Structure 1
Amino acid sequence: TYMFRKASRGFSPGLRRFSDLKVTEHVPESPASPRLTEQASLYVHWPYCLRRCTYCNFNKYIPKENNEDIMAKCLQRETETLLQLSQVSWYVNSFSQGGGTPSLAHPSTIAKILETVSKQVNLSDEVEVTLEVNPTPVGMSKLKDYHHAGVNRFSIGVQSLQAKDLKSLGRDHNSLDALQTLAEARKLCPGGVSVDIMFGRPNQTTELWSRELSEMLRVCDDHVSLYQLTLERGTQLFKQVQSGQVTMPTEEITAEMYQCARTTLQQHGFQQYEVSNFAKNNSESRHNLSYWTGRQYIGVGPGAHGRFVPLGEGGVAREARTQTLEPDVWIREVRQRGHGTRRRIQLGHLELLEEVLVMGMRMTMGISHKHWELFSPELSLLEIFGGSLVVQELLQRGQLILDDRGLRCSWEGLALLDSMLPVLLVELERSFSQKLAAN
């Protein structure tokens, strides 16, 4: 289930939580290669929702009062501070606002943040600006204003077209709302609308899922994101399952659903380019690709994550940064010192390579030799994995491919990525330690 978590929330990748990572004595990443530090993506977290879905454990809050003006000013200030700290010298290549429910924010808030970015770095007319939209009548009514503010890509959280499922999930929209919002978004941004669909829902069968997906694809635009519903401890849904009120599909059934979706999407002209993302007509999400290719990203807002080299402080290694979770505390910290960074962890070279490996293997194209060399000029993919007996077994099974292009999963292997990643990480650590000892 790790593979299917949504990426666009200032994504915190890896098999371990970054709070568990320690600053090591390993050789840190050098910013000598401008390609690794001259650009970044920007993620802005809007922490507020009107209600909490039964399955959700994201960092979100029900606002006690309307403090949008204060939140907007603080988001602008933290954006300015962190851009200056990163000293991104070229451009911000994508911008994404997630949450929470970012479509609760006033369109002027997004316009102000984009204006702040453009004053610090180059923000070209071709930059991808994504907004997550909850498909309610209120969300739909603001689409034109969001588009006018600079948004050119909408991510619509449809999740399901089944009324009973939307109710059990705690969603505050119905299927008609979703279809109308999707239609309006497609008018404004043809080819720039992504639809989030959730599978593995309570009492869902593969047959029901297949019919629903086919119905959804008749009205989708050029991008689809699949997410498996996962039980998160502490959520209402988790408690319902624990008490026996709700029954979830088995792992075998959810695996069938995933394979069914991959086949159905392919039949409708969608190409899979990542574990849970499918596109046609070159509509891949550039923002999420920046995560999966190990590029820098700056996380702004309560609870957002970031990965960048703080050149403005003389930094020479990439840092894993987490902003303060609670909005009220975060606002106070931003007002006091310009940002609300709660945790900073300098990533050693091995930790950086682990991230690049874990994220890169999510993509169908995998990791090319040239791309890996950007982060590991002294230790190639062939040196790390070519002589491993365990990896050779995966190659012989046809689950993994290691050739002149690089390292990637086969079509069958991508569905088994979670089971292969620990093997690959062990081989990476072993090779890295041997190289370090030899030097």
Structure 2
Amino acid sequence: MILTPTMTGIASPDPLQHAFKVKSAPHAGRSGSKPLQVSNDLWIQWWQQPTGADKRALYIHIPFCRKRCSFCNFFENGAKPERISDYMTSLCQQLTIAAKTPLAQSQPFDTVYVGGGTPTDIKAEEIAVLGKAIQQFPLRADTEITLEGRLNGFDDDKWHSALDNGFNRFSFGVQSFDTEVRKAAGRFDDKQTLIERLQHLSKHPTASIVIDLIFGLPGQTMEIWQQDIQAAMESGAHGVDLYQLIGLAGNRIDKASEKGKVLGTDTSEFQADSQTRANMYAYGASKLESNDWQRLSSCHWRRDNRERSIYNSLAKSGIEILPFGAGGGGSIHGHGIMNARDLKEWHQAQTAEKLSELAPAQVPGMALSPNPSAAFDAVFKRGLDSGVLEFGNIETTVLAHLQPLFEAWQQNGLATLDDKALSLTLAGRFWNVNMQTGLFEYLAKNPLIPEQIAS
């Protein structure tokens, strides 16, 4: 049996800080998929075929931002009103065609996520048209419909337009409440403006208001992070995500680092190392939970049952996600789909001569063959992300195969193990992506036999 430190972590008096060197990626995964050429006939066939999935989502991508944040390497298109208007017209036409297909109509959708980019930069009337386009799909009575974005520019006209047209969950990228840290990160608005706006929106009787916070931003000391957590609790938000800053190549922080510079605040160049970020996570988790916030995953908490985080939860389960928009990603009949980001090419695909009412336009991008281990992997990704991997639905032969890895995690302070479940410690929850990556490395170097995987 091959075991390596990247699988198991290392023995340490403080596993929270030292079990692994650094979190190097936002997500873990492996793939047995291969690139697939999809002809126009096959594309139409997919949309004319009913789904075999019992859980489904729509993902709709709005690839525009008014400003590039220092930590982001996904900036695609400036938010010019005329460009957005043309895009939204084409996007809603595509959604209308898709909604009528047998694929879309064959099973209701559990959740819809409008992401970006900055979807809240579109106009109030465009939010209305988008909401009406979404309502053409079969939705459950309690379908979660999320609009992502930023508080700056999300005025009352947009807020009421969204509410009136089906949106019931709003995810805002606050990242930090500290005015100076926000300025250095390229964010709009000061702390007081954010808190007042969140308190106003959170008074709605049913809508769920969720905020994202990032720990490890340049200039963000532990004291500032503690103030961020306190502000989040005082803001009235119903849910909060705590994300660790990841050094993604190509962002402004990374480019400055290559030149030996730090994009700090006007008064501080403090840059939290991995150990400090671990302590920031521990503080945030402890503070929230001691104030009766319920942990839904390793990075997400709620104070109110209206916050369900359905999309984020189901997306880790390998469900079918129909993707729309330039840069949108998902899956159709088990085939991975990633739409290309180029806006010009995306628009050209909408005006091609071979467009059909039988399917939405096939846009440039990548398609992958179904991953034979997707369902198997999803069980472990979902369990580790939640913090508890229950053994009830896992074959005993698989558990026996993974036992050496599980025992190593327990020895290194990352988990506790009994005959019913593997439960992550606080350190394990902080390092859960590394642990997922380690599990997939373990399976690659110590393969299961096909019969075990199939079970």
In the alignment, residue 219 of structure 2 is paired with which amino acid?
N
Q: Deviation of residue 131 (structure 1)?
A: 0.9
Residues 303 and 252 of structure 1, relative CA distance in 2, 3 Å threshold: same
**TM-score, structure 2 length as denominator?**
0.79
Structure 2: distance between partners of 1:438 and 1:129: 34
Output the aligned Cα RMSD: 3.1
Would you say 1:353 and 2:376 are equivalent positions? yes
Spell out, residue by residue over 1:81-109, the C-alpha distance to the aligned partner (whole angstroms, 9 max, x if none). Answer: 55537445221111111111111112333
Classify the secondary structure of the residue corresponding to 1:146: helix
Would you say 1:46 and 2:62 are equivalent positions? yes
The equivalent residue for 1:264 is 287
Would you say 1:115 and 2:132 are equivalent positions? yes
The equivalent residue for 1:234 is 250
Unmatched 5+ residue regions in structure 2? 1-21, 37-49, 263-268, 356-360
The equivalent residue for 1:164 is 180
The equivalent residue for 2:440 is 425
Q: Is the 8 A contact 2:350 2:363 kept in 1?
A: yes
Q: Is the 8 A contact 2:243 2:299 kept in 1?
A: yes
Q: Deviation of residue 432 (structure 1)?
A: 3.4
Structure 2: distance between partners of 1:70 and 1:213: 39
* More contact order relative to length (CA 8 Å, sep ≥ 6): 2
1:53-64 equivalences under 5 Å are: 53-64=69-80
Classify the secondary structure of the residue corresponding to 2:82: coil
The equivalent residue for 2:3 is none
Structure 1: distance between partners of 2:344 and 2:155: 25
Structure 2: distance between partners of 1:340 and 1:360: 34
Q: From 400, 407, 410, give the equivalent of 1:386.
A: 400
Q: Deviation of residue 362 (structure 1)?
A: 1.0
Which moves more between the two structures, 150-159 or 422-431?
Answer: 422-431
Q: From 225, 231, 243, give the equivalent of 1:209.
A: 225
Q: Deviation of residue 384 (structure 1)?
A: 1.8
Residues 207 and 59 of structure 1, relative CA distance in 2, 3 Å threshold: closer
* Poorly superposed stretches of 4+, deviation over 6 Å: 436-439
Structure 1: distance between partners of 2:150 and 2:178: 16
In the alignment, residue 421 of structure 1 is paired with which amino acid?
Q
Q: Is the 8 A contact 2:23 2:431 kept in 1?
A: no
In the alignment, residue 386 of structure 1 is paired with which amino acid?
A
Structure 2: distance between partners of 1:65 and 1:215: 33
Classify the secondary structure of the residue corresponding to 2:248: coil
The equivalent residue for 2:4 is none
Residues 205 and 63 of structure 1, relative CA distance in 2, 3 Å threshold: closer
Residues 176 and 343 of structure 1, relative CA distance in 2, 3 Å threshold: same
Residues 258 and 419 of structure 1, relative CA distance in 2, 3 Å threshold: same
Spell out, residue by residue over 1:154-185, the C-alpha distance to the aligned partner (whole angstroms, 9 max, x if none). Answer: 11222222111111001122223312321232
Q: From 347, 355, 361, give the equivalent of 1:331.
A: 347
Structure 2: distance between partners of 1:263 and 1:174: 26
Residues 436 and 263 of structure 1, relative CA distance in 2, 3 Å threshold: closer
Spell out, residue by residue over 1:391-425, the C-alpha distance to the aligned partner (whole angstroms, 9 max, x if none). Answer: 22224555335556555533432122233223322
Q: Is the 8 A contact 2:196 2:235 kept in 1?
A: no
Q: Deviation of residue 48 (structure 1)?
A: 0.8
The share of aligned pairs that are identical, in percent, is 21
Would you say 1:174 and 2:193 are equivalent positions? no
Classify the secondary structure of the residue corresponding to 2:428: helix
In the alignment, residue 362 of structure 1 is paired with which amino acid?
D
Classify the secondary structure of the residue corresponding to 1:432: coil
Q: Deviation of residue 196 (structure 1)?
A: 1.3
Q: Deviation of residue 62 (structure 1)?
A: 0.6
Structure 2: distance between partners of 1:41 and 1:196: 21
Would you say 1:322 and 2:345 are equivalent positions? no
Residues 36 and 189 of structure 1, relative CA distance in 2, 3 Å threshold: farther
Classify the secondary structure of the residue corresponding to 2:407: helix
1:228-377 equivalences under 5 Å are: 228-246=244-262, 247=269, 248-282=271-305, 283-309=307-333, 318-336=334-352, 337=355, 338-366=361-389, 369-370=392-393
Residues 354 and 125 of structure 1, relative CA distance in 2, 3 Å threshold: closer
Would you say 1:22 and 2:22 are equivalent positions? no
Structure 2: distance between partners of 1:347 and 1:408: 30
Which moves more between the two structures, 269-278 or 80-89?
Answer: 80-89
Q: From 152, 170, 186, give the equivalent of 2:168.
A: 152
In the alignment, residue 22 of structure 1 is paired with which amino acid?
K
Structure 1: distance between partners of 2:172 and 2:385: 22
Residues 435 and 123 of structure 1, relative CA distance in 2, 3 Å threshold: closer
Unmatched 5+ residue regions in structure 1? 6-12, 25-33, 310-317, 371-379
Structure 1: distance between partners of 2:396 and 2:378: 18
Classify the secondary structure of the residue corresponding to 2:226: helix
Classify the secondary structure of the residue corresponding to 1:193: strand
Residues 293 and 36 of structure 1, relative CA distance in 2, 3 Å threshold: farther
Structure 1: distance between partners of 2:25 and 2:209: 20
Spell out, residue by residue over 1:196-241, the C-alpha distance to the aligned partner (whole angstroms, 9 max, x if none). Answer: 1121111322233113312331223221111222222222222223
The equivalent residue for 2:415 is 400
Spell out, residue by residue over 1:284-312, the C-alpha distance to the aligned partner (whole angstroms, 9 max, x if none). Answer: 31121111232221221111110231xxx
Q: Is the 8 A contact 1:39 1:93 kept in 2?
A: yes
Classify the secondary structure of the residue corresponding to 2:362: coil
Residues 220 and 159 of structure 1, relative CA distance in 2, 3 Å threshold: farther
Q: Is the 8 A contact 1:46 1:301 kept in 2?
A: yes
Classify the secondary structure of the residue corresponding to 2:386: coil
Structure 1: distance between partners of 2:453 and 2:234: 57
Q: Is the 8 A contact 1:225 1:278 kept in 2?
A: yes
Spell out, residue by residue over 1:28-71, the C-alpha distance to the aligned partner (whole angstroms, 9 max, x if none). Answer: xxxxxx99614411111111111111221125311456133432
Structure 1: distance between partners of 2:332 and 2:316: 14
Q: Is the 8 A contact 2:64 2:84 kept in 1?
A: no
Structure 1: distance between partners of 2:281 and 2:454: 44
Q: Is the 8 A contact 1:381 1:407 kept in 2?
A: no
Q: Is the 8 A contact 2:168 2:206 kept in 1?
A: no
Would you say 1:218 and 2:234 are equivalent positions? yes
